[in-house]
A and B are shown apart, each in its own frame.
Chain A
Amino acid sequence: MVTDRSENTNFQSLNRYAYALNNPASNNDPSGLKTCADDTMTADTDPLHPYTCVDVVAQYEPPDPSTNVGVLTPQASGPGMPASGSSATIGSAAAQTHTSQQPQKKPCTPLPHDPPLKGVDTTIAAFFRFTHPLETLRLNTIMFVTGGATAATAAGAIALACFVPEPAEPLACAAGVIGGVPTYAGGVFLLKQSASFFKNYTLPAIKDWGCHE
């Protein structure tokens, strides 16, 4: 029994009579089977662990039939628990009072790698298969700058061909309009797509920055 538990690096898990790894100010453990370091607990259908949380500090594993010993296994570094592989020893004050806050990874929203091909945004996302928010941000910037430059150049062509010259040249103006208006419309369309893509993909990806590394 001791051999099994001696592999644990959180020695408070050896104390079967302590609530929440003896750190009730930071941890929660309503069932006595799973210790959570936060208040983000939601109900679960698992009868052994009837709730889930983002920051699991320790979780009770069912007994092995051969030894009939259940183990409270530390899950990750968290409040009241030293990091795995630390040099803490039994009876050490450092191990007993270790309360350093390690940053916990938040659950990630999956990037739309394979969305159904519906709409221009999802088509772009499916084509490029982004794996990092920086990639979506880069494409978004390229779209925005290209759209703006295209629209501005086309608007300049129309204005120079039709609105300003003295005297008016109908052929030059017609050429400016035939070439300029579709290009200007295309530039504005690209700007619209850029804004839509930023709202639908880039902004959620930035909010999840660091999740997909």
Chain B
Amino acid sequence: MNRSAEDKPIAMTFRQALLFVMYYAIGQAIIVVLVGLVLSHLAGAGITWKGLLLAFALLASCGPVFAVLIYWSRASRSRLWPFMIRSGLSMCTMAILYVSAVTLGSRRLGLSFISPAALPGYFAAVIVFGLPISLLTAYFVWRWRIDPERRQSS
């Protein structure tokens, strides 16, 4: 049975997605500047502006991908199983992308928090441990959520 476009709830407007990407980029800029200040002043590491800019670009470039993943998950928020699977996969993809960006960004800064060779092991851990945790969390969040329909009925 086809539902009309008017009945379908809007997952996320373009303006909201744009605002999310902007806020996310501002947050990452603050983190990168703070990390740069700490490393250059306290740890005495040779941090360059170019390196910081590259690290910021890597982290900020995750923002649009995150926005798409959030839109994709929100689109199915009325049904439990699609919501669970989509949000679980989204959280895992976010973790993988973010850790990859941190690893590559820190290498650009001349640091090595995580070796790039260790990344496949980390991705495997995300699938083995992170995915079940994300799925369970999404399940309980969906079951216990207080949405407008339930608020009206209660």
Contact = CB atoms under 8 A, between A and B. Distances in A.
Interface string B103-132: 000000000000000000110111011100
Contacts of B83: 163
Interface residues of B, number: 45
A163 B73 contact: yes
Interface in A150-205: 151-152, 155-156, 158-160, 162-164, 166, 168, 170-171, 173-175, 177-178, 181-182, 184-185, 187-189, 191-192, 195
B46 to A, nearest CB: 24
A32 interface: no
A177 B133 contact: no
B85 to A, nearest CB: 12
A109 B23 CA distance: 54
Interface of A, helix, strand, loop or mixed by DSSP: helix
Nearest to A188: B130
B54 interface: no
Interface of B, helix, strand, loop or mixed by DSSP: helix
A155 B20 contact: no
Contact of B23 (A166, A170, A191): A170
A174 B91 CA distance: 14
Interface in B134-150: 134, 136-138, 140-142, 145, 147-148
Contact of B138 (A159, A175, A184): A159
Contact of A159 (B17, B128, B137): B137
A164 B129 contact: no
Given A162-B70, A188-B130, A178 B77 contact: no
B141 A181 contact: no
B82 to A, nearest CB: 12
Contact of B98 (A151, A168, A182, A195): A182
A185 B141 contact: no
Nearest to B70: A162
Interface of A: 147-148, 151-152, 155-156, 158-160, 162-164, 166, 168, 170-171, 173-175, 177-178, 181-182, 184-185, 187-189, 191-192, 195
6 contacts: A151-B129, A159-B141, A163-B77, A168-B74, A178-B31, A192-B122
Question: Which are the 6 A-B pairs with shortest beta-carbon distances?
Answer: A192-B125, A174-B23, A170-B19, A178-B27, A155-B137, A191-B129
